[in-house]
Amino acid sequence: MRFVDEATILVRSGNGGKGCASLHREANVPKGGPDGGDGGRGGDVIFRGTNRLMTLYDFRLHRHYFAKNGQGGMGRDRYGKAAPPLYVDLPVGTLIYEITENEDGTTDERLIADLVEDGTEVVICKGGDGGRGNLHFKSSVNRTPRYAEPGWPGEEKRLRLELKILADVGLLGLPNAGKSTFISQVSAARPKIAAYPFTTLHPNLGVVENDAFERMVIADIPGLIEGASAGLGLGITFLRHVERTRFLVHILAAEDLNRDDPTDGYDMLNQELREYSPELADRTQIRVINKIDTLSPDELADLSDKVAASGQRIFLISALTGEGVEVLLDEMWRTLRALETATPPTADAGSGEDVRPA
C-alpha cells in the first residue's frame, strides 16, 4: 500500500429533521389539537483512531464525508428518527487541523484533535437538532398552532489530516545504512531491501516481542540526507515521523565510516535533527555501526580499538548475519524500560502539542 501522510477532506454532519405541523383529525373529534412530532437529530461525524490503518491514502481518493439528516416529525405525536453517527476511521497518530478562510483569501489552521490511541473517538461535527413540532406551541391564546420549527443545520468543516507515526524506537541513518535489514531481522516486518540508496520510500513499522510478552514498536524511517531539515530529498516528510519516537537508534554503515574517527559520521544527521527540532536532537540515542561483515578481521579489530578509545558506547553489528543484534536488542529493551515512566516526547513543529501515550 502506498504511504501517504497528508490529506485534505470536507466533512459535514447531518441537518436536523423539520418538526411537523399537524392537527389531530379523528371521527367525533371535530376540534382536535396539534399533534405534530419533533424532527430527529442529524448524524454526528466522529473520527476514530485505529491501528488497522497505516496510511491516509484512502483520504486522497475519498475527500467528502457527510452524515445523514434526521427524519422529519410526523402527525399523531410521532417523532422523527435521529440519524446514525458517521464513523470515520483514521490511523493512530493522525493530527486533525481545521482550515478556516480569512476575508483576504488566506487560510489559518487550528489543531482540533490528535488520535494518539487505538479506539480514541472525537466528535468532529455535531449533528443539527431536530425542529419542534407544533404541539409545543399550543397556548391559551392559540389552541391550533400551525407553525413548526425547521431542523437546525449541521456543521461543515474543511480539515487537513497529517499522520505522524507513533513508535517506541526510530531507526535513523543515511540511505542504505541497513535499517530495513535490521528491522526485518528483529521483527516480522518485511520491507523492500536492495543494495541501493532510497530503497525505503515510506516508514515501515516492526513489532518486537520478548519472552515476557512486552512489545516494542520500531519505525524504519527512510534514509535522510544532508539538507533534510531544509526539505532536501523528502526530509521534512520523514523527519516528522521521528518526532513521536521515545528514542532513536542511529545506524551508520561500516562503508561510510571515517576510519580515523569512526564517531564523526553521526554528526551530520544529528545536525539535521538539531536544525529541525533542538528537542529532537537531544532525545536518547543509541549509536550503531552496521555491516561489520564487510570488514576483514584486521579492519574489525582496528575499528573496535578506535571505538573503545573514543569513550563512546557504539554497538558493532551485522544486520545481515545477525552478529551483535541480540546485544543491541537487549540495550534497546533497557532503554525503553528506563523511559517508560518519563514524560513522553512532544512534537511541536508549529502543530500544537502531541503526546505519545505511555
pLDDT (tens digit per residue) in 66-76 = 999 999 999 98
Cell triple for residue 316? 558493532
Query: What confidence tens digit (pLDDT) does each residue in 186-242 have?
Result: 875 444 433 433 334 456 777 788 888 788 888 877 655 444 344 444 444 556 667
Q: What is the pLDDT of residue 4?
A: 52
Same domain, residue pair 327 and 208: yes
Pairing of strands 285-290, 314-316: parallel
Same domain, residue pair 144 and 179: no
Please name the residue ranges forming H helices in 9-167. Answer: 57-61
Is residue 78 in some structural domain? yes
Structural domain span for residue 260: 167-339
Does the pLDDT at position 127 exceed 90? yes
Is residue 352 in some structural domain? no
Which residue has 502531541 as its cell numbers?
354
Determine the average pLDDT of the residues in 108-130. Answer: 94
**What is the distance of C-alpha 264 from the center of its chain?**
34
pTM confidence score: 0.65
Burial class of residue 92, CB neighbours in 10 A (0-12, 13-18, 19+): buried
Q: What is the pLDDT of residue 25?
A: 79
Give the span between the Cα atoms of 194 and 212, in whole angstroms. Answer: 34
CA atoms lying within 13 Å on the CB side of residue 11: 26
CATH of residue 172: 3.40.50.300
Among 72, 58, 65, which Cα is nearest to 151's? 72
Determine the average pLDDT of the residues in 271-291. Answer: 86
Quote the mean pLDDT of the chain.
Answer: 82
The secondary structure of residue 241, as a DSSP letter, is: H
Does the pLDDT at position 29 exceed 70? no
Among 192, 245, 261, which Cα is nearest to 222's? 192
Which amino acid, one-letter code, is at 277?
A: S
Does the pLDDT at position 18 exceed 90? yes
Q: What is the pLDDT of residue 30?
A: 66
Determine the average pLDDT of the residues in 156-168. Answer: 87
Same domain, residue pair 328 and 181: yes
Which amino acid, one-letter code, is at 339?
A: L
> How many independent structural domains does the chain possess?
2
Q: What is the pLDDT of residue 55?
A: 78
Same domain, residue pair 193 and 326: yes
Is residue 346 in some structural domain? no
Q: What is the pLDDT of residue 224?
A: 54
Query: What confidence tens digit (pLDDT) does each residue in 51-94 have?
Result: 888 778 889 889 999 999 999 999 988 999 999 999 999 988 89
Same domain, residue pair 308 and 199: yes
What's the pLDDT band for 350 if we cut at 50, 70, 90? very low
Segment (H or E) for 273: helix 267-276
Query: What confidence tens digit (pLDDT) does each residue in 307-336 have?
Result: 999 888 999 999 999 999 999 999 999 999
CATH of residue 82: 2.70.210.12
- Let me know the angle formed at the C-alpha of 198 by 197 and 203, rounded to the nearest 5 degrees: 140
Same domain, residue pair 84 and 177: no
For residue 303, the SS3 value is helix
pLDDT-wise least confident of 45-59, 135-149, 178-192 = 178-192
Give the span between the Cα atoms of 115 and 164, in whole angstroms. Answer: 10
How many Cβ atoms are within 10 Å of 324's Cβ, its own excluded?
Answer: 17
For residue 170, the SS3 value is strand
